[in-house]
Amino acid sequence: MTDVATPRTTAQKYLRYRDDLEQPRPDEEQIIDKIITVLRGNNERAYRKYKHGLRDAHAKGHGILRGELTVPPGLPPELAQGLFATPASYPVIARLSSTSGVIRSDQLRGVRGLGIKVLGVQGARALPGDEATTQDFIMVTHREFLFADARAYLRRGMPIAWVLARLPDPVLQTGSAILSALDKHVLRRIGRPLPPNLAVFVRPNTHILGETFYSSAPLRFGDYVAKLLYTPVSPEVTALRGVPVSRDAGSNAHHDMVIDFFAEHSAEYELRVQLCTDTETMPIEDATVAWPEAASPHRTVATIRFDIQDPDTPERRAFGDDVVSFNSWRGLLAHRPMGSINRLKQRVYEASSNYRHGVNHVLRLEPTADQLPR
């Protein structure tokens, strides 16, 4: 494991959490209402097409994993916060996915997702009335979110989401190839690369188990504020970094590669946190700004290990697609999500989950360790 006992800066240099660090726009709730209405239309369209309720994002899963998260002894005080305050091990459920709200070919480039649900977590909850004992972390393969806040997402993200939900795979694949060539041969040569919200569609399509995933938006980290990343560390998965997905691997390439890998190998990842030092260079409300590593590097707070297993039994597939939900607000008050994008996700994810479980006539479950199918 990476050495985490010696911080590069002192705890006094890290920003202390305060309720007033968040500054919502006065019209934010109305903006989120409009977004939910549009996404509900996407949900209904997907239901008519597939005759089954899907998530409005990350609809296609690539495997459900059972694992164990271990918090090591000796974390410095600024890292020993919330879930990570005491050395312990917890069962985890993880779901790998692609970001689209419809079922797409794995040959398409784009954003991959990771939902982690830690089980058996005790403590004050982020949401009133929540009696679960789980802690969810939602992560994606782009370090910064593509839109600053809910208003930017409504203005620029929603038109893209509307179009992407309706274009067929061949059109998207052709468009991605054209954008990639334009970016490589023209735009970068004149110092004007594609904007981030388009660049994600030309990033290389690589093995999902070798990817690094990011929280993209901040969350409370006990007495502090942080962003998270999850990265491969065991040799079997570090070897998969940057390994391209073969064009011959088929439309379910990620799914098949995950199954093949865990048939013979275990895997270990690290969960790392980047503590906020100030809101000028590390803003809370603008999720597009990269927090500088020089001011605050990512530091390890836990390992997550997955042993050899079958991630895609029929029981697991039904459990991951229809029963379980992932929502970063489902967790401890000590890890309450922060910023406009996270406040947007709270309501959007809940609305999507309610619709999906309702049309599928499936009871939503916050599981305990013995409820994940083996």
- Residue 221 forms beta bridges with which residues? 224
Coil, strand or helix: which one is 304?
A: strand
CA 80 to chain centre: 22
Q: What pTM value is reported for the model?
A: 0.92
So what's the pLDDT on residue 215?
97
Chain segment 192-242, per-residue pLDDT in tens: 877 777 777 788 899 999 999 999 999 999 999 999 999 999 999 999 999
Q: pLDDT band for position 12 (50/70/90)?
A: very low
Q: Give the pLDDT mean for 347-357.
A: 92
- Contact (Cβ atoms closer than 8 angstroms) between residue 61 and residue 317: yes
Q: Can you tell me the distance from the alpha carbon of 86 to that of 324, in angstroms, rounded to the nearest whole number?
A: 27
Concatenated DSSP letters for 209-246?
A: GG--EE--S-EEETTEEEEEEEEE-SHHHHTTTTPBPP
- Contact (Cβ atoms closer than 8 angstroms) between residue 374 and residue 65: no
- Contact (Cβ atoms closer than 8 angstroms) between residue 24 and residue 340: yes
Chain segment 310-343, per-residue pLDDT in tens: 999 999 988 988 899 999 999 999 999 999 999 9
